[in-house]
Structure 1
């Protein structure tokens, strides 16, 4: 029987991915945020004594990147010398190393990169795609595009991007709403529905910018458009309001992407606050926590549509018992040598070992800070 492996070194780095066009959703138009110009990534690369390696990442938008890197750098050394196969044990050890700053937000987002790297490593050791290591239900997942539907884009641009997405094999279209002028929201949604036709799945995302009364009025006005879901109509922490809205509308309610722990998602599930839950593995602490949440969501009969980071979430969505969705974003393409394939409205799970991605030279060039911890 082969001897147990151990973690020899952990590399941590942070990089800044510039966006070609500043991005604006409803939070910009309501004056709460500035347009987004970059995404900051925390990269973890783990190497073992037997020569195996794995990488993972977490990310932040607008703020928090430096904090994630600093926290990971403080706690990661407790994993050195440990068996990388014992992922849940290692997650607990890392969590307790930084327990004084809590179990959500930056504290767990920093751990997510390490946790994901461990799963990537374990799947590579087994010679399997991550989805197969975990136990897949399918080899492809329904996919919808978001990156073409932001509010900084004109209606003509949104329609053109929708056409391009559908031609590229993507199955659904999501556009942003939540403008101060609700009549303009309705005009844009109806125009896109007319453009793509009644049979194409269409979603809208208000990015938490409606109050309860506005969400109910808008939800009722949108009922005749047969939307696949209305996303984040209310503040992410308003489980009661989301539950009332879900009971009042025929259109499904989706939320969860901004929550940073399994416990916060459990509140949504207990309150029956959504029909579709949208966790984000890097935000809730990695794959270990995502798997826990998937079990809770399935037991509650919820549908699943993970937020962003399709390179990670495609594998996880493939393991969900109910037919899920995965969000298509092309923003991260420059970071990786490989590309995901879309065909017939679905995203194909890659058959490469682990996550199936290697970082590009461009990603290395965007690195701003790095450190290697070793035994």
Structure 2
């Protein structure tokens, strides 16, 4: 049997500007500045048999140049390797940069190449990635987040929600966590009144409450029949999240900020989430994401992966328990393709791999690029 090898790895850093500056609770509490762009690390891996895989990672606010620099240092380890050995190659890259850790920026930098290898493997099989992994469904329930930021005036937020539902999106998430909790409650009440009791609603506090505040506000939020309360506490407060999950009727969702399997295992063992929200680019790629998914499945948890719908649609489709996928259109300018929405669901594309090709916009907004060969 002929073994094909990795001939080249092309890395690029793309600066993706947002149409308007975005603020969530972290901005309202003074911990961050408004978000104006997303930095996207793109990896393209070419093999000796003529196939090419595409993957990406990302950073909001700081970190994009760091992702690119670390990926550039360790990517030469892939040259000449068998692209099928994805798990071994993930471990090889992690250990190549282990002096800066096996989580955080180090794993987010190698996520782009790991995702590219999975895209490549699915393309060689002639299958969408979800089918390669073993899909449980061909469409996944989806909810919109991008229309509900705290920086969005209430009238515009309500219009965004109705527009999302009319496009075929199945749920609406709005941001909370303002210093004045009454302002959050007024916005949420207005959304529920406009959309009615049948529409699925979620809220996201972006880690800005302490335990006492989260408990008190969580009890008040029970009246709105929410699908979940997201990140009510610091992302690493597994015990605090577990206490909320045990005491509230409304489910707790968290996990998006974690950057390793070990961190997710701590969360799951503590019973800290009803919905686990891993992010493949943040946790280090599809290889570790699948490990998190296996742990979550074993615990009987529901899943709602964070951001990067272009990747997470496939991963959610392969999760045994009925998941959600998050609709964020921010990355759409990077691709020539669009995901299809219908009846509250996002449809898994029939195209091989992730089903994505880079657009001219992506090429025009690259600030750094390198091609690594033998």
Answer whether TM exceeds 0.5 for this pair: yes
Structure 1 residue 101, shift from structure 2 partner: 0.8
Deviations 1:131-181 (A, max 9, x none): 001100000000000000000011111100000000000000000000000
Q: Distance in 2 between matches of 1:350 and 1:21?
A: 29
Structure 1 residue 22, shift from structure 2 partner: 0.2
**1:339 paired residue number:** 338
TM-score (normalizing by structure 1): 0.99
Q: Distance in 1 between matches of 2:11 and 2:172?
A: 35
**1:40 paired residue number:** 39
**2:152 paired residue number:** 153
Alignment of 1:256-275 (within 5 A): 256-275=255-274
Q: Distance in 2 between matches of 1:308 and 1:320?
A: 17
Q: How large is the Cα RMSD of the aligned pairs?
A: 0.5
The alignment partner of 1:351 has SS state of coil
Q: Distance in 2 between matches of 1:73 and 1:212?
A: 41
Alignment of 1:55-74 (within 5 A): 55-74=54-73
Alignment of 1:161-176 (within 5 A): 161-176=160-175
Q: Judge which range, 136-145 or 94-103, deviates more.
A: 94-103
Q: Is 1:230 matched up with 2:267?
A: no
Deviations 1:95-124 (A, max 9, x none): 111111111000000010000000000000
**1:133 paired residue number:** 132
Q: Is 1:76 matched up with 2:114?
A: no
Aligned pair count? 374
Structure 1 residue 333, shift from structure 2 partner: 1.1
Structure 1 residue 224, shift from structure 2 partner: 1.2
TM-score (normalizing by structure 2): 1.00
Moved over 2 A (4+): none
Alignment of 1:194-213 (within 5 A): 194-213=193-212
**1:180 paired residue number:** 179
Q: Is 1:107 matched up with 2:106?
A: yes
Q: Distance in 2 between matches of 1:282 and 1:214?
A: 31
**2:282 paired residue number:** 283
Q: Distance in 1 between matches of 2:202 and 2:90?
A: 35
Deviations 1:53-99 (A, max 9, x none): 00100000001111110000000101100000110011111111111
Q: Distance in 1 between matches of 2:118 and 2:259?
A: 20
**2:216 paired residue number:** 217
Residue ranges of structure 2 left out of the alignment (5+ in a row)? none
Deviations 1:205-260 (A, max 9, x none): 00000011110111000101100000000000000100011111000000000111
Q: Distance in 2 between matches of 1:189 and 1:150?
A: 12
Residue ranges of structure 1 left out of the alignment (5+ in a row)? none
The alignment partner of 2:17 has SS state of strand
Deviations 1:190-212 (A, max 9, x none): 11011111011100000000011
**1:326 paired residue number:** 325
Q: Distance in 2 between matches of 1:271 and 1:359?
A: 41
Q: Distance in 2 between matches of 1:105 and 1:183?
A: 35
